[in-house]
């Protein structure tokens, strides 16, 4: 009997506003504890919220990007519960009237097909602060800098059927929100966090009981958590048990999840409309203006890369998903003048290095202009591809501009035809036996025999002879001896 997995995601996305959703305190990451928590964020008595216009604009921007209906009148509700990172004792969120209604996101599957994941809605809400669990004499420390950071919570329909699809969807959303500039995408800083609803069922049966796993802030954790949870549920059912509806908390250190049942199940959030905030009304003209300001979406960019740079579907997809990568690639391509070579370098050497060093392209030590300059030296035959990789490594280590490195390391190719001809002559003169063999060989076998001569010449030139020129001159001279 085969099992089917059903997955839905709730994605908390921090909006890249300068200030909090309801206060004028900065949202900058990494400040000293509580230095960016103002009276409103601390829920000091008598303080009141006022909604940030930019948070509204960004939420609407997301809505138009996923082709969603926009809630022209949306409203905030209070979700009541006690927790030390929630200063007011309620979270201000949108339950009944969210700002973004149903929409959709297409994902590309490994088999090349496209699947549509429906978005149920996305709503504006405030982030909570942080509890620091290291020991303060048996106490916890509360930092409320993050409290009040604007979020949109994006709620998908349960349209995904495998961990891979869930990850593809999550990555797609990540690429999208970064592309349209509403989120910095810094996963390690918690800018995007996933809650995963998972259930399993036998094919054709009704939906199984779902669990919610919270606190996933990387694609890898999310994938692992889903794989684990699916296995747990199947084991449970196959052993004659039943899945309980519960909230589970994933621990990124131990890679295990555990039930939070005691805390969650007693909760009754007592939602009601927030009387300190009034309904938010926007008009169609506003929505249209936001739509008009929408930057190019990854999907459109992919098509454009295939058309105008003649890239393969794969390269176009890799280069267009993230706006930072796309921008980097386009700069390299236009500066060096060879889009295909630029694509090879960005998806090859550069991507491999970023990946192995776990660096985001935004923080890449080699910016696009110097990489283009390096590629230009390959195109004008100053250096070979192999030498270019050496120069690239040196650039990564901060040794400077490509030309300076080529100069300093003496990597310049010898392209002087006189010098190359001289070297060829010496090698031919010193290789009587090999020349004889070459002459005797069938014409079809001769190209294979060139390798020896080329090797000798490159050795003599310490690798600096232009290989293309060496080949040409060598063939010419050997053929003359036939």
- Judged by the rule CB under 8 A, the positions of this chain that interact with other proteins are 17-19, 23-26, 32-39, 42-56, 78, 80, 82-85, 87-90, 131-133, 136, 138-144, 249, 260, 263, 266, 268, 270-273, 275-281
Q: How many CB atoms lie within 10 A of CB 212?
A: 18
Encode burial over 238-253: b for 16+ CB neighbours within 10 A, e otherwise. Answer: eeeeebeebbbbbeee
Residue closer to other proteins (CB basis): 272 or 314: 272
365 vs 359: CA distance, rounded Å: 9
Half-sphere exposure of 71 (CA within 13 A, CB side): 22
Instruction: Report the residue number, 85 or 399, with the smaller CB distance to other proteins.
Output: 85
Least spacing, CB of residue 181 vs other proteins, in Å: 13
Task: Of 66, 56, 21, 15, give the one whose Cα is nearest residue 41.
Answer: 21
CA angle 214–317–115, rounded 5-degree value: 55
The Cα-based distances of 56 to 125, 155, 183, 328, 450 in angstroms read 11, 17, 13, 29, 68
For other proteins, the closer CB: 56 or 374? 56
Write down the least CB distance from residue 13 to other proteins, Å. Answer: 17
Q: How many other CB atoms sit within 10 Å of the CB of residue 482?
A: 8
Instruction: Work out how close the CB of 406 gets to other proteins at its nearest, in angstroms, rounded to a whole number.
Output: 46
- To other proteins, the closest distance from the beta carbon of 47 in angstroms equals 7
Closest approach of other proteins to the CB of residue 78, in Å: 5
Q: How far is the CB of 54 from other proteins (least distance, A)?
A: 4
Q: Based on CB atoms, which residue is closest to other proteins, 266 or 432?
A: 266
Taking a C-beta distance cutoff of 8 angstroms, is the pair 298, 319 a contact? no
Backbone angles phi, psi at 179, to 5 degrees: -60, -40
Contact indicator for 301, 320 with CB cutoff of 8 Å? yes
Using the minimum distance from each CB to other proteins, give the nearer residue, 128 or 200.
Answer: 128
Strand partners, 336: none
CB of 355: closest distance to other proteins in angstroms? 33
- Least spacing, CB of residue 332 vs other proteins, in Å: 33
* Tokens at 411, concatenated: 């990597």
Pairing of strands 192-202, 211-216: antiparallel
Closer to other proteins by CB, 229 or 330: give it: 229
What is the closest distance, in whole angstroms, from the C-beta atom of residue 229 to other proteins in the complex?
Answer: 18
Nearer to other proteins by Cβ, of 90 and 169: the residue is 90
CA separation (Å) from 71 to 151, 284, 363? 17, 10, 37
C-alpha distance across the termini of the chain, in Å: 72
Q: Which is nearer to other proteins, 39 or 207 (CB)?
A: 39
Tokens of 173: 């959303």
Q: What are the Cα distances from residue 254, in Å, to 137, 182, 233, 247?
A: 25, 32, 20, 18
Instruction: Please state the closest distance from residue 186 (CB atom) to other proteins, in A.
Output: 19
Choose between 92 and 384: whose C-beta lies nearer to other proteins. 92
Which of 244, 190, 168 has its CA nearest to residue 13?
190
Separation of alpha carbons 24 and 448, rounded Å: 73
- Report the SS3 class of residue 325: helix
Output 19 or 320, the one with its CB closest to other proteins: 19
Complex with other proteins: residue 150 or 163, whichever CB lies closer: 150
Shortest Cβ distance from residue 278 to other proteins (Å)? 4
- Phi, psi (rounded to 5 degrees) for 433: -65, -45
Q: Which is nearer to other proteins, 17 or 347 (CB)?
A: 17
Rg of the chain in Å (alpha carbons): 30
CB 66 to other proteins: min, Å:
23
């Amino acid at each position: 009997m085969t099992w089917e997995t059903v997955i839905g995601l709730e994605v908390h996305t921090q909006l890249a506003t300068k200030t909090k959703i309801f206060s004028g305190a900065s949202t900058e990451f990494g400040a000293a504890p509580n230095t960016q928590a103002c009276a409103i964020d601390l829920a000091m008595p008598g303080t009141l919220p006022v909604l940030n216009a930019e948070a509204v604009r960004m939420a609407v921007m997301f809505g138009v990007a996923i082709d969603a209906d926009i809630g022209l009148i949306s409203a905030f509700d209070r979700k009541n519960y006690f927790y030390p990172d929630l200063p007011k004792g309620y979270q201000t969120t949108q339950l009944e009237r969210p700002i973004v209604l149903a929409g959709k996101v297409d994902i590309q599957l490994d088999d090349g097909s496209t699947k549509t994941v429906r978005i149920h809605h996305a709503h504006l809400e405030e982030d909570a602060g942080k509890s620091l669990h290291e020991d303060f004499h048996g106490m916890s420390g509360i930092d409320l800098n993050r409290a009040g950071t604007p979020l949109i919570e994006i709620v998908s329909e349960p349209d995904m059927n495998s961990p891979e699809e869930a990850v593809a969807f999550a990555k797609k959303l990540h690429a999208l929100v970064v592309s349209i500039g509403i989120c910095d995408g810094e996963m390690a800083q918690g800018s995007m966090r996933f809650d995963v609803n998972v259930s399993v069922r036998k094919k054709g049966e009704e939906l199984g009981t779902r669990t919610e796993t919270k606190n996933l802030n990387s694609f890898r954790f999310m994938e692992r958590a889903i794989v684990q949870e699916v296995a747990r549920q199947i084991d449970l059912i196959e052993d004659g048990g039943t899945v309980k509806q519960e909230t589970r908390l994933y621990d990124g250190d131990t890679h295990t999840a555990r039930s939070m049942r005691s805390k969650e199940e007693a909760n009754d959030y007592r939602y009601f409309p927030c009387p300190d905030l009034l309904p938010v009304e926007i008009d169609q003209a506003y929505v249209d203006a936001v739509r008009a300001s929408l930057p190019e979406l990854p999907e459109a960019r992919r098509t454009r890369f295939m058309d105008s740079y003649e890239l393969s579907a794969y390269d176009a997809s890799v280069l267009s998903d993230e706006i930072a990568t796309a921008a980097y690639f386009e700069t390299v391509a236009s500066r060096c003048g060879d889009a295909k070579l630029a694509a090879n370098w960005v998806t090859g050497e550069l991507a491999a290095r970023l990946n192995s060093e776990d660096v985001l392209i935004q923080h890449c030590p080699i910016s696009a202009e110097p990489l283009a300059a390096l590629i230009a030296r390959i195109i004008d035959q100053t250096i070979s591809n192999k030498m270019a990789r050496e120069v690239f490594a040196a650039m990564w280590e901060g040794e400077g501009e490509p030309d300076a490195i080529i100069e300093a390391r003496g990597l310049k190719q010898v392209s002087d035809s006189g010098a190359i001809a001289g070297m060829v002559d010496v090698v031919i003169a010193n290789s009587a036996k090999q020349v004889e063999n070459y002459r005797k060989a069938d014409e079809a076998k001769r190209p294979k025999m060139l390798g020896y001569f080329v090797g000798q010449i490159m050795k003599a030139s310490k690798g600096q002879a232009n290989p293309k020129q060496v080949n040409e001159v060598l063939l010419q001279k050997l053929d003359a001896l036939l």
